[in-house]
Amino acid sequence: MDVDNDHIIEAQYCLPHTKSIKLYNTPCGAVSIDFKRMRVYGKSLRVRRLDDGKTEWTWYCTLRNKWNKYGDKDSKGNPSPVKSSDIERKFQSNPSSSFTFNIGSDTIEIKFREMRQVSKKKKRKVTRRPLYRKLQTGAGVSQVVSALKNVSVGTKPQWQFEGKSGSWHNFKSRSGTKTECSVTSDDIETKYQQNPQNSMVFQVKGDSYSLDFRAMTQTNLKTKHIRKVRRVLV
């Protein structure tokens, strides 16, 4: 049974840091889809994503608490020793195997079953997500259990940042206060819609921050302190 608004689910699934999405007003109440296990948290419901054969899959690994795409240049502008498409080609040939490449004298192995990048010195998490594109009706995520028929989700995006205590706060201008911010949640959403893989710069109390849409983090450009951000539908 197809899920309504599956393009919203697809957009979130394409982001490497997104672990789940919450759907409201379903016959089962509010439910959360676990993207890693493709199941609904706390319920005996399975989920699957229908593929039209045109999906471009992208591979990422964690580095300094951020998801980095294989094939992108590093901070010094050096090219990556391996492309995401190379990894995907090997994965398609045998999802239970691994992909090996070298960085200098170090041998790196990506173990598909564990979704880990392993070297002699370190292990890193790896994930595989589709590259987002506007989908045709019915070509996104589908639910094989009819209980989720006519699912609806919140439609207004709200951008939030994580506070010191782990609580989440909405982006607001707070004009005239000590924490005055140069952008609102709507401003961020406008930039996000232009390019979900991009970033933007804003100011709070005179300090400049970079908001990375792909990593879903905000970084103080002076202190380099990083906070998590998220986009929720309300």
Residue 76 has a pLDDT of 78
Instruction: Report mean pLDDT in 10-residue bins for the chain, 234 residues.
Output: 68 90 76 87 83 89 88 81 93 95 91 94 93 60 42 68 87 83 91 88 92 92 92 79
CA-CA distance, 144 to 142, in Å (whole number)?
Answer: 6
Query: Taking the domains of the chain in order of start, what are their residue ranges?
Result: 6-53+132-143, 71-128, 157-233
- Whether 71-128 and 157-233 share one fold: the answer is yes
Contact 58, 67 (CB under 8 A): no
Residue 3 has a pLDDT of 59
- In degrees and rounded to multiples of 5, residue 17 shows phi and psi of -85, -15
Place of tokens 């994965």: 91
Architecture, CATH, for domain 157-233:
2-Layer Sandwich (3.30)
Under DSSP, the state recorded for 140 is S
pTM metric for this prediction = 0.57
Q: Kind and range of the H or E element at 125?
A: strand 123-130
DSSP string, 41-94: TTSS-BEEE---S---EEEEEEETTEEEETTS--TT-PPPSS-HHHHHHHHHH-
Contact 216, 35 (CB under 8 A): no
What is the 3-state composition of the chain as percent helix, strand, coil, each rounded to the nearest 5?
15, 40, 45
Architecture, CATH, for domain 71-128:
2-Layer Sandwich (3.30)
